[in-house]
Chain A
Amino acid sequence: MIRVQREDFDVGAELERLTAGNHRIGGVASFVGLVRDMGGSDRVAALNLEHYPGMTERKLAEIEAEAHRRWPLDAALIIHRYGRLEPGDQIVLVATASSHREAALAACQFLIDWLKTEAPFWKSEATPAGERWVKARAEDDAARARWTPPL
């Protein structure tokens, strides 16, 4: 399941809902991304997340379907927020559930690695020096490249 929303989410409630009624699930893996403030001259007062409505949902659904093809998952969930966020706020939740931990852990990492390079979201940061666009990181491309073949 995927959701793109402005509102915050409750991780505990989401994980409970993900596994409710399915007693074959033996493990749940999750990743929660937070707004970071490194302090100093890089102080981030706020983050604005923009996305491409329509394509975002489409790409997230594709990525989720690919995870289901690669691993025996009982359930998967991606929630990604947009709009104005502050340091410490939750940005994204990826959760996967499976009979065994290997599939859940690997699929969770796959989903966040792919999401970061495929889903059309862009961050801009409000800093003391003004607004600046966050640049894409080569490390994110390398993380995604581990999961071959491509979609």
Chain B
Amino acid sequence: MRLLYFASLRARVGCAEEEVALPPQIHDVAGLLDWLRTRSDRHAEALCNLRLVRVAVNQDYVGFGHPVREGDEVALFPPVTGG
């Protein structure tokens, strides 16, 4: 699975992109975020406040209950500030 981080989340996690093998027990975004928080202190800190985390799976906004599977492109980022 390809993970992308943008803006302040990229800065806090410390990388823009990582390729991970999805553990078989993880089936949705909430599970993925729980697992990511165990990967490093930086991940844990960046993903601690879920009110400030937006998720896109294959470039569509999704909620925390959305399914994820191997091969997905999952992007994590703060609320957008364009325009």
Contacts and interface: CB of A to CB of B under 8 A. Distances in A.
Interface of A: 33, 49-52, 54-55, 58, 80, 91-92, 112, 115-124, 133-136, 140
Interface residues of B, number: 16
A33 B82 CA distance: 10
B53 to A, nearest CB: 12
Interface stretch (B1-9, B37-45, B64-72): B1-9
B8 to A, nearest CB: 4
A122 B81 contact: yes
Contacts of A123: 81-82
A50 B83 contact: no
Contact of A117 (B59, B75, B80): B80
Contacts of B61: 118
B60 to A, nearest CB: 8
Given A52-B77, A120-B6, A122-B7, A91 B83 contact: yes
